[in-house]
Amino acid sequence: MKSFGLFNQTLEERRDMILNGKLMNTLLFLSVPTLVMCLIQSLIPIIDSLFLNRTSGYVVAASVGFVVPIINILNGMSMGLGVSGMAMIGSANGSGNKELVRKIATQLMVVGFLAGIVMAPFCFVSGLIATRFINSEIAGDVFIYLGLYSFVMPFLFLTAIFNSIKNGIGQPEATLYRMIFLLVGKVVFNTIYLYVLHLGTIGSVLGSLSSYFCISVWMYYDLFIKDSDLKLSLKDFHFDKEIIEETFRLGVPAMINHMTVNVGFVLINMEVQKYGGNIMNAQTIAINLSTICFLIPSSLSTTVTTMVSMNIGVGRSERAKNTFYRASIVAIIISFIIIVVFFPFAKPLVLLFHTSESMLGITIDAVKIYTVAIIGFSLYMIAQGAFIGLGKTKIPVFTGVLRIWLLRYLFILAFENSMGVYSVFWGNVFSNTVAGLICFVIALKVPWESSVKLVHS
């Protein structure tokens, strides 16, 4: 029986649309929920930063901004599991094997939660290490935040796995609903812990813990309790060696890529924090604001992964390749529109966070410069989506190291003496533009055939 409403399609109807529907219509349709989700996702760190700047001061806000790439390093395993899960589920769903889709999804949820528990203590250890090498102005708050964030890690892993499952079966709207719920939770809990109770750094962590715990309960209901085509079950669960091996075969390169890239971001933050907490906070604000721009066109990457993996799964390489071409064109057009629209609002947006003359000018400059980098970054992300959809997860390891370490970090070191902290801002533009062009060329040259072994063995 056919469902009413595009977002109420059954698993089979959504699969048919991806495999047989009009390419551009399908690309845009699947991208809309992801675009909105990414917009909402980008608002979460902005809300955190607003609350912290207004209630706790720039030192706490700078400290939280500094730890973000450290947490992302530890969260790299969940990103790798999510990447492999999206490729495997997309390929299995493309071939019409629903039972295999359920089996992979269940394995991922269990492995992901256990991996989050294993990674939790490393959050505390990273706090101990970080405080030995950073400005004493922010060291104390950095240690407190990372130590307490250990309790958030398992739930952070679950959200990454949930997203990969839903995106893998071509239901990005499910991740949108989750992100809206998370945003509301962040506002509510930040109001309680930061505005009402004035708990500062501790309150910021409690806001994250409370929000992610609530969303994890909702995700469990969605996957394991609610009746659906993809209802999962832990009854008679046992670890499947073949699925787990394939998960890590595909996922480890993505984990290494994510972790390596964020180690680069930590080193870049080490360069910025030398200028003091106020400059560190200025960069954090600029990154959070420009992230709105970056996430909108790059969110097409998720749709590209879904469409490429499913079409490759049934041998339609030409349709998969056309998806990549058209997504690249759409991303570039959106990027130029965003730059034109966003520039006039840079100053009013920065003024929401602070009015300090010592920080205002440099923050506005950083926002504008970062925004220019969106064009190259969009090309870069579309290509990454194609590589993941093809199961070629080793390529993003190379391109990730190229973008952050060889292009950006070396640019910063080369021009730091002459440009100061502005070398960080312009290094972003340089690295994203060059990496985007290189990735586009690589995507043109690679064989458009699946490297996922599970559904083809």
Region 361-367: what's the mean pLDDT? 91
Do 225 and 284 have their domain in common?
no
CB 259 within 8 A of CB 76: yes
Region 245-272: what's the mean pLDDT? 87
In a domain, 244, yes or no: no
Lowest-confidence pick of 2-11, 79-88, 367-376: 2-11
In a domain, 246, yes or no: no
Residue 187 lies in domain: 14-239
CB 190 within 8 A of CB 207: yes
Query: Which residues neighbour 28 within 8 Å (Cβ) at sequence distance 6 or greater?
Result: 330
Whole-Å CA distances, 424 to 260, 269, 271, 338, 392: 18, 9, 9, 22, 31
* 22 confidence band (pLDDT: 50, 70, 90): confident
Region 223-241: what's the mean pLDDT? 89
- Give pLDDT tens digits for 2-18: 433 455 666 677 777 88
Q: pLDDT at position 355, please?
A: 66
Q: Which residue has the tokens 């950083």?
A: 366
In a domain, 249, yes or no: no
Q: pLDDT at position 9, please?
A: 64
Q: pLDDT at position 94, please?
A: 77
Do 273 and 378 have their domain in common?
yes
CB 387 within 8 A of CB 448: no
Do 298 and 357 have their domain in common?
yes
Do 275 and 338 have their domain in common?
yes
Q: CA angle at residue 60 from 55 to 66, to 5 degrees?
A: 140
- Give pLDDT tens digits for 311-331: 887 788 899 899 999 999 999
Do 307 and 410 have their domain in common?
yes
Region 287-312: what's the mean pLDDT? 83
Task: Report CA torsion sign: 264, 358, 275, 190.
Answer: negative
Instruction: Identify the domain boundary among 185, 204, 239.
Output: 239
- Give pLDDT tens digits for 210-222: 999 999 999 999 9
pLDDT at position 300 over 50: yes
> Mind giving me the DSSP string for 390-430?
TT-TTHHHHHHHIIIIIIIIHHHHHHHHHHTTHHHHHHHHH
Do 264 and 234 have their domain in common?
no
Do 263 and 155 have their domain in common?
no
Q: CA angle at residue 419 from 414 to 423, to 5 degrees?
A: 65
Do 235 and 289 have their domain in common?
no
Q: How far apart are CA 255 and CA 181, in angstroms?
A: 27
Average pLDDT over the chain, rounded to whole?
87
* 98 confidence band (pLDDT: 50, 70, 90): confident
Do 222 and 338 have their domain in common?
no
Q: pLDDT at position 186, please?
A: 92
Region 433-453: what's the mean pLDDT? 90
- Give pLDDT tens digits for 171-213: 777 787 888 899 999 999 999 999 999 999 999 999 999 999 9
pLDDT at position 149 over 50: yes
In a domain, 4, yes or no: no
Task: Report CA torsion sign: 169, 170, 172, 174.
Answer: negative
CB 137 within 8 A of CB 61: no
* 143 confidence band (pLDDT: 50, 70, 90): very high
In a domain, 5, yes or no: no
Do 259 and 220 have their domain in common?
no
- Give pLDDT tens digits for 412-424: 999 999 999 899 9
Do 153 and 296 have their domain in common?
no
Q: pLDDT at position 3, please?
A: 39
Q: How many domains does the chain have?
A: 2
CB 300 within 8 A of CB 428: no
Q: What percent of the chain has pLDDT over 70?
A: 96
Burial class (CB in 10 A: 0-12, 13-18, 19+), 233: exposed
Region 215-243: what's the mean pLDDT? 90
In a domain, 88, yes or no: yes
Q: Which residue has the tokens 């965003």?
A: 338
How would you classify residue 226: left for phi > 0, otherwise alpha for psi between -120 and 50, otherwise beta? beta
Do 316 and 258 have their domain in common?
yes
Q: How far apart are CA 94 and CA 90, in angstroms?
A: 6
